[in-house]
A = this chain, B = another copy of it.
Amino acid sequence: MTSETPWLSAQEEHLWRGWTRLNAELTARLQRAMQADAQLSGSDYEVLVHLTDSPEGRVRVSDLASLLQWERSRVSHHLTRMERRGLVERSECVEDGRGAFIGVTKAGRAAIERAAPGHVAAVRRLVIDALDAEDVAALSTVFDRMLARLDEVADTKVASTA
């Protein structure tokens, strides 16, 4: 940190607080809807999305931790609970010593397929129904530009405080 850090203007702070509150609200409501509809927590769903996205339906635990951006202990505790419920299964990887895989089970695949229609319906109710076509276009433009900028700028560069 340098002492010259510019604080946010009132408008900027209003936007950022609104943004974070909206994300927290949307995340919480989408997760509650999914729990009620399909008995999956938001964390369960995130894990299952990453496993079913991989062609073999399994990824290394260490890679999953990076994908989820969770702390390692949280990954480990959560996978243990999901394994007890039969949604995922661990397999050791003897050949290369690079650590265990975690894979989606048949029950895990069924669970995420059962969750999908309800999740889409909740996204529509909570997000899309609040926007008109112009809003959708305007938000897409801004978000795409922000994503392109994040992809361009190396993480260390953007995250650095030098």
Chain A residues with CB under 8 Å of chain B are: 1, 5-8, 11-12, 14-16, 18-19, 21-29, 31-33, 36-37, 41, 43, 69, 71, 73-74, 77-78, 81, 117-118, 120-128, 130-131, 133, 135-140, 142-147, 149-150, 155, 158-159, 161
Distance (whole angstroms) from the CB of A161 to the closest CB of chain B: 5
Distance (whole angstroms) from the CB of A155 to the closest CB of chain B: 6
Q: In the complex, what residues of B have CB within 8 A of residue A146's CB? A: 22, 127, 130-131
Q: Is the CB of A5 within 8 A of B121?
A: yes
* From B69, B121, B143, contact of A28 by CB (8 A): B69
Q: Is the CB of A150 within 8 A of B126?
A: yes
Known: A1-B37, A36-B161, A126-B150. 7 other contacts (CB 8 A): A6-B121, A11-B133, A11-B136, A18-B144, A26-B150, A29-B150, A125-B159
Q: Is the CB of A27 within 8 A of B120?
A: no
Q: Is the CB of A135 within 8 A of B128?
A: no
- Contact residues of A: prevailing secondary structure: helix
Distance (whole angstroms) from the CB of A26 to the closest CB of chain B: 8
* From B74, B126, B142, contact of A131 by CB (8 A): B142
Q: In the complex, what residues of B have CB within 8 A of residue A11's CB? A: 133, 136-137, 140
Distance (whole angstroms) from the CB of A8 to the closest CB of chain B: 6
* From B12, B81, B117, contact of A73 by CB (8 A): B81
